[in-house]
Chains A and B, each alone.
Chain A
Amino acid sequence: MSTTNVLNPGYASDSENYLKNSTGILSWMFTLDHKRIGIMYLIGILSAFALGGALALAIRAHLLEPDGTLFTNDQYNQVFTLHGAIMVFLFIIPSIPAALGNFLVPVMLGAKDVAFPRLNLCSFYLWVCGAVFFICALLGSGLDTGWTFYTPYSTTTDTSVILATFGAFVLGFSSIFTGLNFIVTINTMRPPGMTWFKMPLFLWATYSTSIIQVLATPVLGITLLLLIAERTMKIGIFDPEYNGDPVTYQHFFWFYSHPAVYIMILPAFGIISELIAVHSHKHIFGYRFIAYSSVAIALLGFLVWGHHMFTSGMSALTTIIFSALTFTVSVPSAIKVFNWIATLYKGSISLTTPMCYAISFIFLFTIGGLTGLFLGVLSVDLHLHDTYFIVAHFHYVMMGGTLIAFLGGLFHWWPKMTGRMFSELGGRISCLIVFIGFNMTFLPQFVLGSRGMPRRYATYDPEFTLLHQWSSYGSFILGMGLLLAGIVLVVSLYNGKKAPSNPWGAVTLEWQCTSPPPFYNFARPPVVGDPYDFHDLRWDALTENYVIDTPPRKVAPETLPLGTPAHAGGQD
């Protein structure tokens, strides 16, 4: 008898498979299973992304000509506002934490579910409710304030500001509930042996994100309620006509919305830490520095909101202090990039689709991060503020960063979520097209900005035409790349190969259950070791799966859970 066991859970039976153990629309609508809620979120946010993306392409098509090709100025203002609001509130903020996080956090913890499954379902329905408000605003008189709702424009325009802000208010609660749930889950439901420093880095990132969600989002809620109160009851808070101050609104708004930038990017850091380590089959370099830098970013992120307001007329001292604080945030972000590259060094790299996305993330995010330095330098910011330079910078961070990481994560965990392998060739081609299209769209915008092209312009001076056209053509390529990625994933659902439990060779817990996981995730709390120790990992050519050799282990309790869930008649 051998002294080691081979960890290979095989395949889930239909009655155990969380996707198939119960059927019917109601079994999804009222599910408390975090995995199903994660899938519902995924469908929701991808629909939002498709809508926001279509609006983005419409914007770029409009800007092919200096006088615009598609819209009147009013229509253009509504289109760019909805693009921003939908992407920020309905897509990026919930993308990684709510969709991937919901699926992954409990499985990575070896737990059966999140701490509060009902709260989890509630947060999904709040998201739907918020999305409905946004759609009502869109179908009503539209929204033309920009996603920032700056007063006094937002208190005087005729469009559906109240519907949209109320939607954002409701979405805020969805976000708070998710964050709260994850904080409690990670604090209380880690399996025996998983100390804080044995957690996968994705969980550190999720934990840091959740702290921001819980602490910062209420401020947005209060701000938006004040805005609604001012609009409906003419209470003077932000509008100078009633003795308010518009700059107060900007302080309140960015006190949330700057930390929200880190709600968007921190989970992406978590994904990349996983992807780089797993596909290099090498211990992540500098685990503690990466973990601490997530927390540092979360905390420092609360102190730098003023850098959105360098030209608003704050006092010189305040402005300079905010500039200094802004530079401190760049340090933990840089640490992560260095650590990821050190992890690649002397690894055993598989250039899979998720890895390709992770590599393009590092490239794009580094550009996004470095161009932030220009904006932190006060004298240069006075020139670049509110120009296309800003637009390019935050798209490099939000889209080149978060969206690319989200796609990488989606490809990475797709076999786990759906039980299907996708076409590697198709996936890699999509990554290449997205990479080329992305750079072609946004690199010219840096030059546009430093040459003085203001943002949010429906029409522009003829000297900017060439760069705008490059950007537009790039965006069409980018759109095709994203469409191809979507097609690759959807096709895999119909004729993809059945996924083994551990196709990439990862050692975190989610790869130690079947693909897709059973509804109970794990029969027993799994044995926890270092999440990045690849010594015992072995490629098993026979099952086309990575397996882990583990020392023999006595299991307790000795009885297994029932093969079918209670609500599907499994109790008797």
Chain B
Amino acid sequence: MSDTAAIEAEGLVKHYGKTRALNGLDLTVARGTVYGLLGPNGAGKTTAVRVLATLLRADGGQARVLGHDVATQAGAVRRVIGLTGQYAALDEYLTGRSNLVMIGELSRLTGRAARRRADELLEQFDLTDAADRAVKTYSGGMRRRLDLAASLIGHPGVLFLDEPTTGLDPSARALMWDIVRQLVADGTTLLLTTQYLDEADQLADRIAVIDGGRVIAEGMPAELKASMGGQRLLITLTEGSDASAAAAALRPFTTRPVIPNEWDRLIEVPVTATDGLATEVVRAMDAAGVKVNDIAVRSASLDDVFLTLTGHKAEENEKTEVTA
């Protein structure tokens, strides 16, 4: 085992009855990096985090966090991790400050150290003004910030963020992203789960795409995008154009089958970008007698990666949502 890895997991398996939530999950996260676990609801992201954070015992495989085995050295793991789950895990009736002090004391800080850390974190997360108000008066964004602050009180070396921005409005989300970037600058290793592709793209140094309880693709965001054929060609035809003629004319430009779509005037195909590609496509369309309103070549997004790998879009598949 390498000394540089903050998190190492090999062949993790977890069943819930007949459901295999984890099905041989492998993961290596280097120290001081942000690692994104990307997948739809039900893919096994939260189960993976719960196993790594010692909340669940895996049925098979093994995992280490900063060198400590999550099954046999759970206590040692808990001393070096922080966890922020999908729901703000706070006492609604306590003030923000009391919550932080409580979590600090339970993280084995003395009362004095816990109060000092609470003050620091309240200031850092811009919560000083609300510090002495009950948490139930907080907005969603403030709760998430306080929740994140709580998971940092013991200076964890590894922080697990399980869907940290789900349900937040765009400005609260941007603020969370800033905070996350700041944490990384401080050297904390971060394992982040998300179903938002842009979030993984923005924050993560490496990404594992998870589906059906195992990793189906892994790499830097740019690598993943490049592996999907790089570019996409988008063409919008004029009203009444012959879509099948357009599809036939496009066949020389792509390796994938082009399926004409009679009722949709937008055609999208993966292409390999070459100099003058757009010009040649327009000429081919003209030769086929097809009129074009708009043409664009864009890089593949993580959405495309996801769709290609899993056969479904990242944000569908809501039916396996939490069954509390």
Task: Answer yes or no: do A and B interact.
Answer: no
Instruction: List residues of chain A with CB under 8 Å of any chain B CB.
Output: none
